[in-house]
Amino acid sequence: MDYVKYATLLGIAVILLPLFGCVRETNPSGGSDKIFVSTDSRNYEMSDSINVTVENLGTSIWYEWGQNFEPFYFEVYENGEWKRSENLGLCPLGVLGPPRELKNGESISFTYSISFCNAPTLPGTYRAVFYYYLQDPSLIASYDPSDLQKAYSQEFEIAGGPEPEYFFISTDSRAYELGDTLEVTVKNLGPGVFYDDSCFTPFVFEVYDARSWKEAEVIKCMVDCSFEKNKELPTGASATFQYTVGESCFTPEKPGTYRLAFTYYADESGQKTRAYSHQFEIVLPSGSFDCYDDSDCVPATCCHPSECVLKREAPICSGIACTLSCETLLDCGEGRCICLEGACEAVRMGIYD
């Protein structure tokens, strides 16, 4: 069939269908009687990830899938009605692959990190909408928007923030080069809390990777330093800490998107809790190598890329549908992006493996 026409019409349909009601709705409380959509929780914080699972207990269905392209969107409950959420995190441009089959008894799962890459960015009441076909869309001679089906997750809540309202954690910049000094301040406007202080401070670096936050790889040091347990941060007090990024012990030495997690507890024997700074970027110094390993490099364009760029320079591809034709080295698994002598390069598969 004409894949250019198919991909173009699909992209238009995914955007417009919720607005014009031309998708046949299944049971809005949880999908059709054969397709079950569920999330791993009914309550999330802004620092959490949402895991969505689709289980098929009926006949085979087909769904769209690709790089940064999932068969879901989110609806928010506002003013007494459900509407498609427009407040979603930015994401590199999606590359649409061939339709995938979900057979009877099979299930698939997707993870969305709240505030990032097609996930909600604001607190509220939400549900996930899974769209699919009853037959392989690549075999449909004439595409009809009504061929799309929808199934819904249960509703869930996203609360107002990753840390208590009375904590303010800030860094002195939103971007640092390796070798720069990073200064972070935590201010407590609520009840007094306690934390453990040492040469590596009460903060932990977390990196945003594979659409979720995880503890970052940092410089390991064997150092003999003081350790002060149960240090108090009273109401109205603040504490400031400094790091030399990529040089100080327990700091990252790779570029990326990071945040700082502050560990504290309400009393001297209480359960530990974390609060988070805003996110910030760590980049390479001017004039240095562009990349250090292959994971630093991604395709330069959303559709039919022939070159590679640094991950932080990746295009925003959300909502873009590409044709399925194989036109360039990086199409259809023919090639990949690598870091070669400090620069991102596109090479054929099998070379430099």
Do 85 and 198 belong to one domain?
no
Do 7 and 152 belong to one domain?
yes
Residue 225 belongs to domain with CATH number: 2.60.40
Structural domains in the chain (count): 3
CB 101 within 8 A of CB 323: no
Does the pLDDT value for residue 31 go beyond 50? no
Residue 7 is assigned to a structural domain of this protein: yes
| H or E element, residue 5 | helix 3-20
Do 154 and 175 belong to one domain?
no
Do 251 and 325 belong to one domain?
no
Does the pLDDT value for residue 312 go beyond 80? no
pLDDT-derived band at 14 (thresholds 50, 70, 90) equals very low
Which residues contact residue 239 at a Cβ distance below 8 angstroms, ignoring those fewer than 6 apart?
185, 186, 233
Do 178 and 266 belong to one domain?
yes
The pair of structure tokens assigned to 103 is 């057979």
Residue 15 belongs to domain with CATH number: 2.60.40.2550
Closest C-alpha among 155, 140, 127 to residue 99? 140
Do 279 and 299 belong to one domain?
no
Do 26 and 115 belong to one domain?
yes
91-144 tens-digit pLDDT: 665 566 788 899 999 999 988 888 777 788 788 889 999 989 888 877 766 656
Mean pLDDT of the chain: 78
Among residues 283, 304, 330, which one ends one of the domains?
283
Among residues 227, 262, 283, which one ends one of the domains?
283
Give the domain range for residue 65: 3-158
Do 176 and 259 belong to one domain?
yes
* DSSP character string of 278-336: PPEEEEPPTTS-S-SSGGGEEESSSSS--SEEEGGG--B-TT--------STTGGGSEE
Residue 333 is assigned to a structural domain of this protein: yes
- Only one residue has tokens 């036109």, namely 327
CB 40 within 8 A of CB 88: no
- Top pLDDT among 270 and 339 is at 339
Do 121 and 13 belong to one domain?
yes
What is the DSSP code (8-state) at residue 14?
A: H
Residue 143 is assigned to a structural domain of this protein: yes
pLDDT at 353: 63
